[in-house]
Structure 1
Amino acid sequence: MFTIGEFAALGRVSVRMLRHYDGIALLRPAVVDPHTGYRYYRAAQLGRLNRAIALKDLGLTLDQVRAVLDDEVDSAELRGMLRLRRAQLAAQVAADTARLARIEARLRMLETEDRMTTEDVVLKEIPAVRIAELTAVAASYQPTDIGPAIQPLYPELFRRLDEAHVRPTGPAIAWYEPEGGGEMVVVHAGATVSVDSGAARDFAIVDLPAVPTAATLVHHGSMDEVEASMQVLARWIEENGWRAEGYAREVYLEYCQGEPEKGVTELQIPVSRR
């Protein structure tokens, strides 16, 4: 037999872990000296220890590990435990992947801040336009909330336009407005059309009014990285004595759903003199 220290070394675990496993009845010593309280283990117990470590690494709790090793859990229950753990790990990987993408986007934004200048801003009049639109609600103005809300709208809108035999006559246009008094945002996904507004259709027909004066800037790339361009516009508006009015519009000059990094979007912010 082996002392607890020797057994810990053989199993590549800590003595503290073995004491804990003893305390929760996961791995009892083969013998406990009644006089000294010293714990002794047999070589055959290394198999149970290794299986316990493997199951724990899969994400099972120690109580679940003990139940599996003591045959209190049948194969169907074990499959259920492992499927649940697989789903949890998949969700964690997805969340970490999304978080990594946001960090990379933020880094790219910081890298381009110094290269983008307010000289690219153009002040112009925006004519009235009629659009067909679908709407959704996003949790906030953050690109990570706006993107999942707006991205499904355009394929669905174009599908409905095709079924209604309505052809877009200009670029797609999006804009956003707050929902109530909270952070929720109504997302408007529209396509420029020339149709009668009175006919019954499964999409709305909206007339966007003309904008006498708008500060505009062409953004190249994914809309997940639009913050840098919006900062340039905001700086230009502030430095030149203008005030933002109404809701900003996004005009998709080149809409690339499958390759958003190739997109070209004109940002339009209605402005007035202070």
Structure 2
Amino acid sequence: MFKIGEFSKLTQVSVRMLRYYDENGLLKPATVDADTGYRMYAVDQIPRLNKIIYLRDSGFSVAEIFEALEYSDTQKTLAQLDQKLNVIKQNIEDEKEKLNKIKIAKQQLSDGKQTMHYNTSIKSVPGYQVISLRRILPDYYHEGELWKELSTYLKQYQIHTNEETFSIYHDTDYREQDVDVELCVQVDKEYDDIFPCVYRYVEPVEFMACTMVYGEFSNIANAYQTFASWLEKNDQYTMAGSSRQIVHRGPWNEENPDAYLTEIQIPLIRNK
């Protein structure tokens, strides 16, 4: 048996942390001397301590560590580790996006530009027969995963498409979370619904404002701001309906993000 200081030195874990684990029920001393009150630890407690440390370093909370130790369910612990892994990966992607935005902001400030300018035109868009997949996503960055899911269904049921695709954003406002997104793939005939996908007809739009966005997806926000200025000058039109987005060139067919080409479509009505 070892006193807490000795156990600390042998396991390379501070006395403070050993006391913290004791207080939270993660690692109780093997015994406590009745006369001196000294905490005494045993060698066979080291594997439990090591598990506490790697779970802590993996981002587990005290409650999650306690549960993993209490039930000794290896499969559940592995599932929790996978979940933590996905969270960390998403955090890394979020941080990369922040770095990219900083780079763009620095470039614009260095060039003396506060905004980029985009041309807005109006065209008539016909109606389309589509197979669609609509879902509430955690945020816009998850749209790529939904496209992969839709592609899997199309291949599984051998649905012939003409490879014309677009996204519809059904929220009336911009959402940072829980965004209502519908992915549409044009087809040339009617199909039975394949849950969760559905066949439907997307109505034509007489007046559709269109803006082409060149470069990285982060440029899209500036395109919407430019459209706001255009709409203010062309007050004979009012926004109506759900906006759309068509990625003509993206990660799947273009290696250079500077060469991406995205079309933003916003339905309008002409004021009387």
- Once the two structures are superposed, residues 161-196 of structure 1 have per-residue CA deviations (whole angstroms, 9 ceiling, x without a partner) of xx45x551x7322212249xx9662514122x5x46
Looking at structure 2, the residues matched to 129 and 158 of structure 1 have their Cα atoms a distance apart, in angstroms, of 24
- Closer, same or farther: CA 134–61 of 1 in aligned 2, 3 Å: closer
Does the aligned pair in 2 maintain the 1:176–1:248 contact within 8 Å?
A: yes
Match of 2:30 in 1: 27
Match of 1:130 in 2: 128
Q: Does 1:153 align with 2:150?
A: yes
Match of 2:47 among 27, 35, 51: 51
Match of 1:264 among 244, 261, 264: 261
Does the aligned pair in 2 maintain the 1:214–1:269 contact within 8 Å?
A: yes
Q: Does 1:204 align with 2:199?
A: yes
Gap regions ≥5 residues in structure 2: 56-63
Looking at structure 1, the residues matched to 222 and 119 of structure 2 have their Cα atoms a distance apart, in angstroms, of 10
Match of 1:120 in 2: 118
Gap regions ≥5 residues in structure 1: 68-76
Counterpart code for 2:168: W
Does the aligned pair in 2 maintain the 1:131–1:207 contact within 8 Å?
A: yes
Does the aligned pair in 2 maintain the 1:241–1:273 contact within 8 Å?
A: no
Percent of pairs identical after alignment?
Answer: 16
Match of 2:77 among 81, 85, 107: 85
Match of 2:165 in 1: 172
Kindly state the Cα deviation for residue 11 of structure 1 after the two structures are TM-superposed.
4.6
Look up the SS of the partner of 1:152 in the other structure.
helix
Counterpart code for 2:180: V
Does the aligned pair in 1 maintain the 2:117–2:226 contact within 8 Å?
A: no
Kindly state the Cα deviation for residue 91 of structure 1 after the two structures are TM-superposed.
0.6
Looking at structure 2, the residues matched to 14 and 265 of structure 1 have their Cα atoms a distance apart, in angstroms, of 55
Look up the SS of the partner of 2:117 in the other structure.
helix
Kindly state the Cα deviation for residue 63 of structure 1 after the two structures are TM-superposed.
8.8
Match of 2:211 in 1: 216
Give TM-score scaled by structure 1 length.
0.64
Give TM-score scaled by structure 2 length.
0.65
Look up the SS of the partner of 1:120 in the other structure.
coil
Determine which structure has more spread, i.e. the larger CA radius of gyration. Answer: 1
Does the aligned pair in 2 maintain the 1:219–1:267 contact within 8 Å?
A: no
Question: Aligned residues, how many?
Answer: 242
Kindly state the Cα deviation for residue 219 of structure 1 after the two structures are TM-superposed.
4.3
Q: Does 1:104 align with 2:96?
A: yes
Kindly state the Cα deviation for residue 145 of structure 1 after the two structures are TM-superposed.
4.5
Looking at structure 1, the residues matched to 21 and 202 of structure 2 have their Cα atoms a distance apart, in angstroms, of 70
